[in-house]
Copies of this chain bind each other. A is one copy, B any other.
Amino acid sequence: MPPPTDAEHFPLGDVVLQHGMTLPDAHLAYKTYGTLNADRSNAIVYPTWFSGWHTDNEWLIGPGMALDPADWFIIVPNMLGNGLSSSPSNQPPPRDRARFPFVTFQDQVACQHRLVTEHFGIETLALVTGWSMGAGQTYQWAVSHPEMVQRAVPFCGSAITADHNKVFLYSLGEAMRADAAFADGWYDPASPPLRGLRAFARIYAGWGFSQAFYWQEEWRRLGFVSLEDFLVGFWEGFWQDGRDPNNLLTMLWCWEHGDVGQTPGFDGDTVAALNSIRCPLLSMPAEKDLYFPPEDEHWSSQHIPHGDVRVIPGVWGHFAGGGQNPDDTAFIDAAIREMLDRPV
Of all chain B residues, which has the CB nearest A235? B167
Would you call A195 an interface residue if the criterion is a C-beta within 8 Å of the partner chain's C-beta atoms? Answer: yes
Known: A178-B196, A195-B177. A167 touches B202 (CB 8 A): yes
Known: A164-B206, A214-B164. A180 touches B177 (CB 8 A): no
Find out whether the CB atom of A198 lies under 8 angstroms from the CB atom of B174: yes
Task: Please indicate the chain B residues that have their CB under 8 angstroms from the CB of A168 in the complex.
Answer: 206
Q: How far is the CB of A111 from chain B (nearest CB, A)?
A: 30
Which of B166, B175, B211, B215 touches A199 (beta carbons < 8 Å)? Answer: B175
Which of B167, B198, B227 touches A166 (beta carbons < 8 Å)? Answer: B227
Find out whether the CB atom of A175 lies under 8 angstroms from the CB atom of B163: no
6 other A-B residue contacts (CB within 8 Å) besides A164-B210, A171-B205, A177-B199:
A167-B206, A171-B175, A178-B179, A211-B291, A211-B295, A215-B296
Contact with B along A199-225 (1 / 0, CB 8 A): 100110111011111110100000000
Q: How far is the CB of A120 from chain B (nearest CB, A)?
A: 39
Find out whether the CB atom of B170 lies under 8 angstroms from the CB atom of A202: yes
Find out whether the CB atom of B181 lies under 8 angstroms from the CB atom of A215: no
Would you call A293 an interface residue if the criterion is a C-beta within 8 Å of the partner chain's C-beta atoms? Answer: yes
Would you call A231 an interface residue if the criterion is a C-beta within 8 Å of the partner chain's C-beta atoms? Answer: yes
In the complex, A203→B171 CA distance in Å? 5
Find out whether the CB atom of B171 lies under 8 angstroms from the CB atom of A214: no
In the complex, A231→B173 CA distance in Å? 14
Task: Please indicate the chain B residues that have their CB under 8 angstroms from the CB of A17 in the complex.
Answer: none
Task: Please indicate the chain B residues that have their CB under 8 angstroms from the CB of A171 in the complex.
Answer: 171, 175, 199, 202-203, 205-206
Find out whether the CB atom of A174 lies under 8 angstroms from the CB atom of B162: no
In the complex, A211→B202 CA distance in Å? 20
Q: How far is the CB of A163 from chain B (nearest CB, A)?
A: 4
Which of B163, B179, B214 touches A163 (beta carbons < 8 Å)? Answer: B214
9 nearest CB pairs, A to B: A164-B214, A174-B199, A171-B202, A178-B195, A163-B214, A171-B203, A178-B199, A167-B206, A164-B211
**Most chain-B Cβ atoms within 10 A of its Cβ — which of A168, A174, A179?**
A174
Known: A175-B199, A214-B164. A170 touches B231 (CB 8 A): yes
In the complex, A206→B207 CA distance in Å? 10
In the complex, A193→B291 CA distance in Å? 28
Identify which of residues 290-313 in chain A touch chain B, using a CB-to-CB cut-off of 8 Å: 290-291, 293, 295-296
